[in-house]
Amino acid sequence: MSCVRRPSRRPLGVPRPSTVLALALLASVSGTSGVAGQEPLSFERYREAIEPIFLVDRGGWGPGRAPCVTCHAEQGTPLRLQRLRETAGGEVYWSEEDSRRNFEVVSRLVTPGDPDRSRLLRKALVVPEGGAALHVGGKFFESKSDPEWQAMADWVAAADPVERPAPPRLDFDFFRDCVQRMYVDKRPGDVECIHCHETGVRGFARHIPDGRDFWNQEESRGNFAITRRYVEPGEPMMSRLLTHPLAPAAGGDYFHGGPRRWDSTDDPEWQMLAAWVRGETPECVVGAEADAGSG
């Protein structure tokens, strides 16, 4: 794998760069110079050997085939990369400032000194080799002997092991009694979350059996398990549950197949969810209650 740092042709499916950086990303990386384990990781080695991996064209479109940056440029995922810049000749690149912001984000997803426990390395690795059970973007490392996987493993292994604080705990009872209410609440002109999310791998609001208008305890546990895939405890703006339905102008994702439920992070309902993601138990504010609070 070449580690030469140079502009690259636009990878398949990569959106054109925006002139405005998402405010959410700025918020997520500001003041993070003290992130545990960041200092032992080499920024120079990251920029030369690791960051180019995110640009590799994998021969197509869709899970396991598109470049990492296609889905991770300013999207509400834990690996939230800066959008690519573009030269007059159509070549794309990250400036050093962009790369430093990316580095801070990527540093949160590795366990210094331990590649096998590093989320960044497990997500795209096949399950039989020790990879994570789910990666929406697919699997493209068939083994740990893959040169790209090895490059990331060597970078992580060279860092000093560090202790990291445990993420906050998500309150299931609050999810059951409040968050789920949002899934069946219809805002004017929109459809309910359950309309699109009652089936499939993204089915965090499963079909409610006939004769009932809400989920029971067991069904709520199932919804909770799937919802957790789209929440990064402690990080509202890295949680797709909060960024997918948020307007792009407010830092939300650029694509959501459903409606935009929130125009701003000031929306009381969004603020409630953010507090829950941070491990708090806020007052429940859903739908009309949220609209009344913002009026």
Q: 9 - beta bridge partners?
A: 91
User: Measured between alpha carbons, how far is residue 50 from residues 4, 137, 162, 238, 286 in Å?
Assistant: 11, 18, 21, 21, 42
pLDDT tens for residues 4-52?
333 444 444 444 443 333 333 333 333 333 444 345 799 999 999 999 9
Q: Is the pTM of this model over 0.75?
A: no
The average pLDDT across 271-278 equals 96
Which residue is associated with the tokens 């690996």? 79
Confidence of residue 106 (pLDDT cuts 50, 70, 90): very high
The mean pLDDT of the chain is: 81
83: DSSP letter: P
Weakest mean pLDDT among 14-28, 83-97, 109-123, 256-270? 14-28
Which 3 state secondary structure label does DSSP give 228? Answer: helix
Give pLDDT, residue 291: 58
Give pLDDT, residue 36: 44
Q: Would you kindly state where each structural domain of the chain is located, as residue ranges?
A: 8-157, 172-294
Do 124 and 140 form a contact (C-beta atoms < 8 A)?
Answer: yes
Give pLDDT, residue 9: 45
Of residues 57 and 115, more confidently modeled: 115
Helices (H), the chain: 23-29, 43-45, 68-72, 96-107, 119-123, 147-157, 172-174, 180-183, 193-197, 217-227, 240-243, 268-277, 288-294
Give pLDDT, residue 76: 65
- The Cβ of residue 194 has, within 10 Å, a number of other Cβ atoms equal to 21
Give yes or no for residue 74 having a pLDDT over 90. no
pLDDT tens for residues 145-200?
999 999 999 999 999 887 777 889 999 999 999 999 999 998 877 778 888 888 87
Rg of the chain's alpha carbons, rounded to an integer?
A: 20
Confidence of residue 139 (pLDDT cuts 50, 70, 90): confident
Give pLDDT, residue 144: 95
Q: What span, in angstroms and rounded, lies between the C-alpha atoms of 170 and 87?
A: 44
Confidence of residue 66 (pLDDT cuts 50, 70, 90): confident
Q: What span, in angstroms and rounded, lies between the C-alpha atoms of 250 and 79?
A: 19
The average pLDDT across 105-116 equals 91
pLDDT tens for residues 198-208?
887 778 999 99
Give pLDDT, residue 142: 93
Q: Which two tokens stand for residue 216?
A: 């029971």
The average pLDDT across 248-252 equals 85
Give pLDDT, residue 138: 81
Q: What span, in angstroms and rounded, lies between the C-alpha atoms of 243 and 231?
A: 10
Which 3 state secondary structure label does DSSP give 47? Answer: helix
Count of residues in the chain: 295
Q: What span, in angstroms and rounded, lies between the C-alpha atoms of 95 and 84?
A: 9
The average pLDDT across 116-122 equals 91
- The Cβ of residue 183 has, within 10 Å, a number of other Cβ atoms equal to 21
